[in-house]
Structure 1
Amino acid sequence: MQDNLFEFESAGSSSEPTKTKKNNVEDKASPLAERMRPKTINEVVGQKQILGEGKALRSAFESGHPHSMILWGPPGVGKTTLARLMADAFHLPFISISAVLGGVKDIRDAVEKATKYREATGKSTVVFVDEVHRFSKSQQDAFLPHVESGLFTFIGATTENPSFEVISALLSRSNVYVLESLSKADLNELLERANKQEFPDISFEEKSKDILFNLADGDARRFLNAVDVITTVARDNGIHVITEDFVRKTLPSTIRRFDKGGENFYDQISALHKSVRGSDPDAALYWMCRMLDGGVDPLYLGRRLVRMSIEDISLADPRAITLASEAVRIYERLGSPEGELALANAVIYLAMAPKSNAVYKAYNQMKAFVKKDSTRAVPLKLRNAPTKLMGDLGYGTHYRYAHDEEGAFAAGEKYFPDDLEELRFYHPVPRGLEIKIGERLKELQRLNQEARVAQSAPEGLKTGNKYNEPEHVNPK
């Protein structure tokens, strides 16, 4: 940061600096991504959803009234550029703070400079916080009074979901704009512009462009850095046509964008889970491979597969739980790459297995009921009686030992607390093994109903004395 108050990282000058020979040399020495940084809002490539005519952020630029905002999007999509352009558009000084390297001292310095500037001009200062999600809650709190008073026009940039990473008080004082990865069309526009401006003597074959587009993965900075390397090597070797083979030889292979703990991580695991639930084996395999390619821990994937087998397949095919669990054990034993094939087996099996969330729903409903219900007593007949005193008090009395009953089922017996109506939250689905479970459940409910009708009938109408026989006491 410069010491002169009105020149510190200022983007507010309405006139372009005079370009001397020294300026030109320095410009050429800077990275291509920096040389191609847009100077006006109209030069920004992509982000039409917020910068197109009549869209939210463009309207903010055209209104003449700056406001605090959070720019949320993946790397290399223009968050820093937009912040600088806003300061430029409103002729305001620009203070940049990196949440990775900065701290409370940087915030104090920004407050001091912004205060002096406001006293001299009556205007606010644009304070840009890169990677704002890396600031602690207390550090984010430090901005609040200055955003509230208008001392700062706060612009935060984050690759993480601000709902989780930015404090609610700061969110409520800022508009959130979502930036998207650049499309291949956007990158192609960027390449054509750079080609015309920086290396008009070099051309690109279509296949070489496709490799660069895929390598960039929607990140303009990564794309321009790759183009910078390619064109520099080409010029050094007198090459004027960039071919597919030249790109492959010049650039190292790269992995897809994947943040092991960030928003992209949870988006991809969500896509995998939903593909399995939706019974699409190829889509499920695609997302699994995307995550493995991005560096996810395969054992994390394995644990999630076990969760899917329990939550979305369950008793419709109990083998799914076994197969998913075994896939995890196989990976632990064999490691990569052999163990990953076991995970692939599990993914495809789970995707094709019959689906049921009946147990998942029943569990959650029963858990919610128990949480809000009172603490009800266990019926005496269901209590164990390991001592004589407990037996004398009636523990275990009138308990019907199911194995001694016809079909090992004590028809008509009740197992809920005496003062609670029977709850029925488990409803098997008509798929897989749960078809048979459902049929069995209906049959047991029929036997219960018949037995209870017989038990409630007048003595003379009861058939036999099955329900008047001496009750068994649980031998346990």
Structure 2
Amino acid sequence: MKNTLPPLAERMRPETLDDLVGQDHLAGKGSILRTAIEQGKVPSMILWGPPGTGKTTIANIIAHTLQAPFFTLSAISSGVKDVREAIDTARQIQKGILFIDEIHRFNKGQQDALLGAVEKGIVTLIGATTENPSFEVNSALLSRCQVYVLKSLEEKDLIRLLRLAMERDEVLSQKKIELQETEALINISGGDARKLLNLFELVVDSLPPALPTSRDKLSGGGGEAILITDEQVMSIAQQRIALYDKKGEQHYDIISAFIKSVRGSDPNAAVYWLARMIEGGEDVKFIARRLVILASEDIGNANPTALVMANATFDAVNKIGYPESRIILSQCAVYLAASAKSNASYMAIDAALAAVRQHGDLPVPLHIRNAPTKLMKNMGYGKDYQYAHSYEKNFSAQEYLPAELAGSKFYDPGRNAREEELRRFLKGLWGEKYGY
């Protein structure tokens, strides 16, 4: 019988706003969404927030409160045909709520299929997304929806959920549970209520009851208790990640170790620190962004393909997500770690910025100014400019910097095969002017 029960997170899913934990800015007394629900005037909406913060729960609460037909689609497995079928059914009964999970995964055609039904009020659309809807939902559909932002649950909210589960759940309430420590449960869940509750249930089911204490025996207390500690939670969850905290100090320590390993050309260490972040539930976009920055900052023109690959990685992991994106991240991290390194472009822009701050807004030399009007031409704009393609090797040794900075060298090619080639090329053009 026990095996037929739904997971704890599903058993604990609230049916009213009063039972919802967290999101007081949306569901609290007098809040805009709560008022709309209580008045029965719920607009089409996009619920944007991290996993496990209550997007699906709020959609269910709305349907339950309004007693409206509720249609659910997942953007992962549904297509235009499924959308149209749901709309047709809603049209026949003249009203319905259409909930689409991960709506950001719908392509433009699939999103466009919703427009008419939403605009005419055939369905009230509730889309759930973990991604910024400004980028992932097309503007036509977005303009027809209210966007409500959900926040990650705070520690006090998560602990309250654990207490409620022990008090109210039909299974856990029958057990004597002593929650001695909560740090591991809180950190591993990462603010995700669903992950927290299901992990909690796994831990409770995996631990044997403790022996009665002497105090229990003397007081005639009610027998054995299940003691939950951080060490036990970590062991059962098989999370060998030292309580990876996505928002705390270790978040920055581990991404620092990852970047330094790639910069230091150690693919083995790079993959290890990448694995630590993946196991800790780090945001895939955060990792991918760092790889794009690193490809330019630490590799640059020593291997221009590195930036192309990192950018492709960023696009790919955003389309795919965990767990498959771990493979793409690993490929990119290994490639960047094994690549030739140069920070010459990074140093060049910092040196140029320093010059700008020191010298201020120096005037653009007249000969390289634009001259779209006769007055500007009469003032000498563009005079004596030498069009590079009119000269041998498509090059003219004219000055492009302001007079005060003439001959300044900001870019010094790195000591690697690709940039040594660039050094020779530049020296062949400019001679000793820049010391190449």
Range of TM-score over shorter length: 0.5 to 0.7
Task: Tell me how far apart the structure 2 counterparts of residues 371 and 115 of structure 1 sit (CA, whole Å).
Answer: 63
Post-superposition CA distance 1:284-308 (Å, at most 9, x none)? 6565358843346989745513645
- Cα distance in 1 between the residues matched to 2:128 and 2:287: 31
Residue 54 (structure 1) shift: 2.2
How far the C-alpha of 1:383 sits from its partner, in A, is 7.3
Cα separation, 1, equivalents of 2:190 and 2:301: 37
**Alignment partner for residue 168 of structure 1, among 112, 121, 139?**
139
Residue equivalent to 2:176: 202
Task: State the shift of 1:99 in Å.
Answer: 0.7
Change (3 A) 1:287 1:65: same
- The Cα shift of 1:132 comes to 0.5
1:181 aligned residue (133, 152, 156) = 152
- Corresponding residue for residue 353 of structure 2: 357
Equivalent residues in 2 for 1:137-286, closer than 5 Å: 137-198=108-169, 199-200=172-173, 201-207=175-181, 209-234=182-207, 240-253=226-239, 285=253
Cα deviation, 1:443-472, whole Å, max 9, x if unaligned, reads xxxxxxxxxxxxxxxxxxxxxxxxxxxxxx
- The answer (yes or no) to whether the contact 1:75–1:219 under 8 Å persists in 2 is yes
Per-residue Cα deviation, 1:417-465 (whole angstroms, up to 9, x for no partner): xxxxx968989xxxxx99xxxxxxxxxxxxxxxxxxxxxxxxxxxxxxx
Matched residues in 1 for 2:97 and 2:292: separation?
A: 45
Q: Percent identity?
A: 34
TM-score after normalising by structure 1: 0.55
How many Å apart are 1:68 and its aligned residue? 0.5
The amino acid across from 1:252 in the alignment is: Q
1:102-121 to 2 correspondences below 5 Å: 102-118=78-94
Equivalent AA in structure 1 for residue 156 of structure 2:
A
User: Which amino acid is the alignment partner of residue 247 of structure 1?
Assistant: V
Supply the distance in 2 between the matched residues of 1:254 and 1:133 (Cα, whole angstroms): 32
Task: Tell me, in whole angstroms, the C-alpha distance in 1 between the residues paired with 2:9 and 2:114.
Answer: 31
Whether the 8 Å CA contact 2:187–2:243 is kept in 1: the answer is: no
Query: Which amino acid letter does the alignment assign opposite residue 200 of structure 2?
Result: V
Taking structure 2 as the reference length, the TM-score comes to 0.60
Aligned to 1:70: 46
What is the rounded CA distance, in whole Å, between the counterparts of 2:63 and 2:184 in structure 1? 36
Aligned residue for 2:77, secondary structure, equals coil
Task: Name the amino acid aligned to 1:250.
Answer: I
In 2, Cα distance between equivalents of 1:300 and 1:219? 23
Matches within 5 A, 1:25-174: 29-118=5-94, 124-174=95-145
Q: Do the aligned residues in 2 keep the contact of 1:309 with 1:324 (CA within 8 Å)?
A: no
Task: Report SS of the residue matched to 2:151.
Answer: coil
- Tell me: CA distance 1:56–1:286, structure 2 relative to 1, closer, same or farther (3 Å): farther
Match of 2:294 in 1: 305
Aligned-pair CA distance for 1:104: 1.4
Structure 2 CA distance for aligned equivalents of residues 170 and 113 of structure 1: 21
Distance 1:69 1:233 in 2: 40
Question: Would the alpha carbon gap of residues 152 and 210 (structure 1) be closer, same or farther in structure 2, given more than 3 Å must change?
Answer: same
Q: Is the 8 A contact 2:75 2:102 kept in 1?
A: yes
> Residue type of the partner of 2:353?
N
Alignment match, 1:466: none
**What residue identity is the alignment partner of 1:305?**
L
Q: What do the CA deviations read for 1:159-196 (whole angstroms, capped 9, x no partner)?
A: 11100000101111111011111111111000000011
Specify every segment of 5 or more residues in structure 1 that has no aligned partner in the other structure, as ranges.
1-24, 119-123, 259-263, 272-280, 311-320, 388-395, 402-413, 417-421, 428-432, 435-473
Q: Is the 8 A contact 2:44 2:118 kept in 1?
A: yes
Check 1:35–1:371 CA distance in 2 against 1; reply closer, same or farther (3 A cut).
Answer: farther
Distance in 1 (CA, whole Å) between partners of 2:240 and 2:404 is: 50
1:342-378 deviation line (CA, Å, top 9, x unaligned): 99xx9xxx99x98873579999x99xxx998659878
Residues 64 and 425 of structure 1, relative CA distance in 2, 3 Å threshold: farther
2:214 maps to none
The CA distance in 2 between the partners of 1:98 and 1:135, in whole Å, is 9
Question: Equivalent residues in 2 for 1:341-380 (5 A)?
Answer: 357=353, 379=384
> 2:25 touches 2:31 (CA, 8 Å); kept in 1?
yes
Aligned partners of 1:76 and 1:222 also within 8 Å: yes
Contact residue 257 and residue 294 of structure 1 kept, 8 A: no
Which residue number corresponds to residue 456 of structure 1?
Answer: none
- 1:406 maps to none
Shift of residue 102 of structure 1?
0.7
Does the CA-based 8 Å contact 1:187-1:213 persist in structure 2?
yes
Give the CA deviation at 1:243: 2.6
1:56 and 1:372 mapped to 2: Cα distance? 53
C-alpha distance 322-152 of structure 1, shift in aligned 2 (>3 A): closer
SS in 1 for 2:93: helix
CA–CA distance in structure 2, aligned partners of residues 61 and 256 of structure 1: 43
Q: CA deviation at 1:235?
A: 5.2
Q: For the structure 1 residues 257 and 97, does the alpha-carbon distance in structure 2 shift closer, same or farther, using more than 3 Å as the test?
A: farther
User: Within 2, Cα distance between the matches of 1:102 and 1:189?
Assistant: 35
Pairwise CA RMSD of aligned residues? 5.1
Shift of 1:241: 1.6
Gaps of 5+ in 2: 211-223, 259-272, 279-283, 308-329, 374-380, 411-430, 432-436
Partner Cα distance (2:390, 2:6) in 1: 84
What is the deviation of 1:324? 12
Change (3 A) 1:379 1:216: same
